[in-house]
Amino acid sequence: MVRLSLSIILLLGLIGSSPSHRTISDLYQPGDERGWIFKSDGERIGDHWFRYDGPAEFAGRSGVHRFSSRTRLSSDTGVGIIEQLYASELLTREDGRPIYHRLTAKIGDNTQSAELTFVQDNKAEAVIVQGQSKRKLTVDAPGDAYIQANNFIGYFDLLLGLSPPGEGSPINVTLFSGNSLQALPYQARWIQDSSTDEGGIVLKDSLGETIHLGKDGHLQKIEVTAQKLVIMQTKDVLEPFTIEAKEVIAPSPDFLYEDVVVQHGNVSLAGSLTRLKESQGKLPAVFFISGSGLQDRHGYSSGIDTGTHEILDAVTRAGFAVLRVDDRGAGDSKGPTSGMSYDDLVEDARACLQFLFKHKDVDPTKVSLIGHSEGGVTAPILAAEEPRILAIALMASTGRPLADVMMDQNDAALENSGVTGEEKKKQLAQIRAIFDRIATDEVIEPESVPKDLRQVLQMLPWLRSHARQDPSKNITKVTCPILILQGGKDFQVSPEKDAKPLVEALSAAGHPNYEMQLFPELDHLFKKAPGKKSQFADYLTDRPIDSGFLFVLTAWLKKQAKK
């Protein structure tokens, strides 16, 4: 899947200083509840409930304080209306620094969670659950940091109440994000005493927020002018809720599951080889190459169910041995991800393909590839260099350089966000200029890029290696049979600008065996779009892979393997 970035409303930090001016007992009594409501452009879009549960024990440790939080949001984020639920449990020391934190999110129909236990030596043990995938890792977490989580106003209330800044004494602290598992600096300064009847003080922080604290030390209001967002204390009774985890995918009783590991260099890719229990002898085989973004072997990406498991189960039922793997950095796979390039991902796929050729239960003369989105760019590269590949099926593959696809995506995102006319032209020109620089070997300093676009540089190795690829040229080097599959309502990859150029390139090259299938009502995931056009918010809604698409794909694969 082509990369998309989803910004959930705002980033709110927790601040404090040392030593604390107050203790938790000064601010709260067990059972105390507080609430805030979110308003965007004057319209209520959500609320946050926060409760001090009281003293607790954790792992035999006393002197611990327990807090519970719930956040409910419903808003148009520029990619459709998204319903969001967040629940957390926080255990702290007396000074408010975290001992344990669990954050569970339900965005649309998709759930994910991050559980953090803060240990000595500036480390935290994390357990991340996204869809069907559970991943354990150790992350750097400064011992003097405070926990921070998107839209958890109660954490903000806690830390500001413990250590409010005074005139001439700004706060400079380190926060640790429970969302991204990274530390970040935070500053806040006093700007004036409050002019309201409730008294208190007014602060300005490094995130561009204006913060109002009451004289009781509790948070009254946050104003985020750039987002037309106001968060204010409410006396409304807010009801907590429970987030139910999504059911784990049950293994099919008809399949044999073989856990496998594909090792190359310092990369270890974990996966499963599936086949029917009644199958005998060497089987035709298929390897699935996923789209961009970390995905596990089932096709879960940041908690989103892309439906890969449905596709690969259908191919298994059609009589194939199917290799499905966790991407590097996802599930149980291991390997360096910092500075990872597209070439690295191609090498991972190449290793998996060679593994499949050598497997004892696989017929090496009948190995095919399915590539989805970015994987549809990779499959022709491998097929051009490996003559033993029987056939390739390309699902929503790009037919142009990635920068051109991303320009169209940015254009649509700006339009959906209400940015039009000259302002949209200006922003698109800035984005295009960055992509043009990325396509060269130029050293790009962050200061030379507009501040709100610098996040693109985090993907520089990936983008730069992609810039060398032209899918419409690559596909002309492939000699094996090719099936091009495209959804008519795909907003990420265009039937006209991507699938059509691939077909035209094959026709011009005189390729002897290719087919194109367009599914007018399907989106980028080959699921039926619920509206007149698809949008990212649809990905967060449980929908099955289209049965007609599955029939076309499996029938074509069987035809190539002569099954």
**Higher-pLDDT residue of 112, 346:** 346
Q: How many CB atoms lie within 10 A of CB 355?
A: 21
Q: pLDDT-based confidence at 18, cuts 50/70/90?
A: very low
* Pairing mode of beta strands 482-487, 389-395: parallel
Mean pLDDT of 53-65: 90
**Higher-pLDDT residue of 22, 493:** 493
What percent of the chain clears pLDDT 90, i.e. is strictly above it? 58
Q: Does residue 281 have a pLDDT over 70?
A: yes
16 in any annotated domain: no
Distance (Å, whole) CA 189 – CA 160: 11
Are 171 and 265 in a shared domain?
A: no
Q: Does residue 5 have a pLDDT over 60?
A: no
CATH number, domain of 508, equals 3.40.50.1820
Are 93 and 223 in a shared domain?
A: yes
Instruction: Give which of 205, 181, 180 is closest to 191, Cα–Cα.
Output: 205
**pLDDT, tens digit (0-9, with 9 covering 90-100), for 149-187:** 888 999 989 988 887 777 778 888 888 988 888 898 988
Is-contact 175 186, C-beta < 8 A?
A: yes
Q: Which residue has the tokens 């339900």?
A: 106
At residue 17, the pLDDT reads 33
Is-contact 282 363, C-beta < 8 A?
A: yes
> Among 204, 234, 264, where does a domain finish?
234
Strand ranges, E, within 162-218: 171-177, 183-193, 201-205, 210-213
Are 360 and 486 in a shared domain?
A: yes
At residue 3, the pLDDT reads 33
Are 69 and 83 in a shared domain?
A: yes
At residue 374, the pLDDT reads 96
At residue 80, the pLDDT reads 66
**Higher-pLDDT residue of 210, 535:** 210
What percent of the chain clears pLDDT 70, i.e. is strictly above it? 95
**Higher-pLDDT residue of 54, 250:** 54
At residue 278, the pLDDT reads 94
| Residue 372 DSSP one-character state | E
> If DSSP codes are grouped into helix, strand and coil, which group holds residue 90?
strand
**Higher-pLDDT residue of 162, 76:** 162
Q: Is 96 left (phi over 0), alpha (psi -120 to 50) or beta?
A: left
Mean pLDDT of 296-310: 91
Are 226 and 268 in a shared domain?
A: no
Q: pLDDT-based confidence at 144, cuts 50/70/90?
A: confident
Tokens of 275: 């086949």
At residue 77, the pLDDT reads 58
At residue 413, the pLDDT reads 80
Mean pLDDT of 397-416: 88
Dump the DSSP string for 115-149: EEEEETTTEEEEEEEETTEEEEEEEE--TT-EEE-
378 in any annotated domain: yes
Mean pLDDT of 482-495: 96
Mean pLDDT of 543-553: 97
Domain range for residue 308?
256-401+469-561
> If DSSP codes are grouped into helix, strand and coil, which group holds residue 525?
coil
Q: Does residue 15 have a pLDDT over 50?
A: no
Mean pLDDT of the chain: 89
Are 313 and 380 in a shared domain?
A: yes
> Among 203, 234, 265, where does a domain finish?
234
Q: Does residue 82 have a pLDDT over 50?
A: yes
246 in any annotated domain: no
Q: pLDDT-based confidence at 259, cuts 50/70/90?
A: very high
Are 67 and 100 in a shared domain?
A: yes
Mean pLDDT of 374-378: 97
14 in any annotated domain: no
At residue 4, the pLDDT reads 32
**pLDDT, tens digit (0-9, with 9 covering 90-100), for 412-459:** 888 877 788 999 899 899 889 888 898 888 888 888 888 777 888 888
Are 31 and 63 in a shared domain?
A: yes
At residue 38, the pLDDT reads 95
Q: Radius of gyration of the chain from Cα atoms?
A: 26
Mean pLDDT of 36-41: 93
At residue 417, the pLDDT reads 72
Are 437 and 333 in a shared domain?
A: no
Q: Does residue 273 have a pLDDT over 70?
A: yes
- Least confident span in 255-269, 380-394, 447-461, 493-507: 447-461
7 in any annotated domain: no
530 in any annotated domain: yes
240 in any annotated domain: no
CA dihedral defined by 228, 231, 236, 239, rounded to 10 degrees?
100
Q: pLDDT-based confidence at 11, cuts 50/70/90?
A: very low
pTM of the model: 0.82
> If DSSP codes are grouped into helix, strand and coil, which group holds residue 551?
helix
Distance (Å, whole) CA 72 – CA 89: 15
Are 122 and 207 in a shared domain?
A: yes
> How many domains does the structure of the chain reveal?
3
Are 453 and 552 in a shared domain?
A: no
Instruction: Give which of 66, 74, 59, 70 is closest to 98, Cα–Cα.
Output: 66
At residue 1, the pLDDT reads 35
410 in any annotated domain: yes
Are 433 and 497 in a shared domain?
A: no
Q: Does residue 75 have a pLDDT over 80?
A: no
At residue 8, the pLDDT reads 29
Tokens of 78: 């520029």
At residue 535, the pLDDT reads 85
